[in-house]
Amino acid sequence: MADSLGEKFEDHCWRDVVSEETLEVYRPYVRDVCIKGTAALLSIDLFASVFPSGPMSLLEAIRENPKSCGPYAWEAKPKIKRLIDLARNAGWPIIQTTSDRLLVPEDGNRRATNRDESALSLTQIKSDFAIDDYFDVRQEDRIVYKGRASAFFATDLADYLKSKEIETVVICGESTSGCVRSSAVDGFAHGFHVVVVEDCVFDRHLLSHKISLFDLHHKYADVIPLEELNV
């Protein structure tokens, strides 16, 4: 990528896993990235269960809780909190998502992934899908209960955002290859400008994280690091 715009556009975490040949193929997607108009923050599935109790390996974290995203969640946690605080101070609407299995746990057809959760008790489900207190959910935050990966699927999220005249949906949370990706694609499909904050999303597998961000950045969303986000 010889030009400065192309270099900046690709200056992200995926540079060590995407070849120069592939970058050349994707040149038609190169553009300026930004927040357009009025923004809202969509915080996806900030469950206490995905954050380990301290810095540890992924396998150690999984032994602590099978839903954990280990070191990647641990590293992203303070950055997500900073992003939420910035959004609050800017007066953005803040939307927090969780699973509607808290409401209808017996409905086995409404699940975000194919993970086997048949052995989980209602108590465990409520614990696993509780939003971490660290992120200071407030009464004015809107809670979206979703039954699938996307925060937009079978919810009133799009209507809510349109009622607030939101143009840009800024996304943080987890997992990059799952609920973040699905929500970003659906947000784009609903006509919103989508921004994914690179270091405020995470996954269990670093390669999935990098490739998902690469694909989103070129097709459906602007991937922007927290330090470059103009809130």
Cα torsion angle, 128, 145, 93, 8, sign: positive
Contacts 24+ apart (CB under 8 A), 228-231: 229/35, 229/83, 229/86, 229/170, 229/195, 229/197, 230/34, 230/35, 231/35, 231/39, 231/86, 231/87, 231/89, 231/90, 231/92
Average pLDDT over residues 70-80: 98
Residue 68 burial by Cβ neighbours in a 10 Å radius (0-12, 13-18, 19+): buried
Alpha-carbon gap, residue 23 to 21, rounded angstroms: 5
- 84-106 confidence digits (pLDDT tens): 999 999 999 999 999 865 544 44
pTM as predicted? 0.90
Phi first, then psi: give them for residue 169, nearest 5 degrees: -105, 115
Alpha-carbon gap, residue 121 to 28, rounded angstroms: 49
- How confident is residue 125, by pLDDT bands cut at 50, 70 and 90? low
Taking alpha carbons only, the member of 189, 188, 171 closest to residue 180 is 171
Average pLDDT over residues 183-187: 98
Taking alpha carbons only, the member of 65, 134, 50 closest to residue 99 is 50
- 1-42 confidence digits (pLDDT tens): 557 888 999 999 999 999 999 999 999 999 999 999 999 999
**Could you say which of 3.40.50.1820, 3.40.50.620, 3.40.50.850, 3.40.50.1000 is the CATH number of the domain covering 37-228?**
3.40.50.850
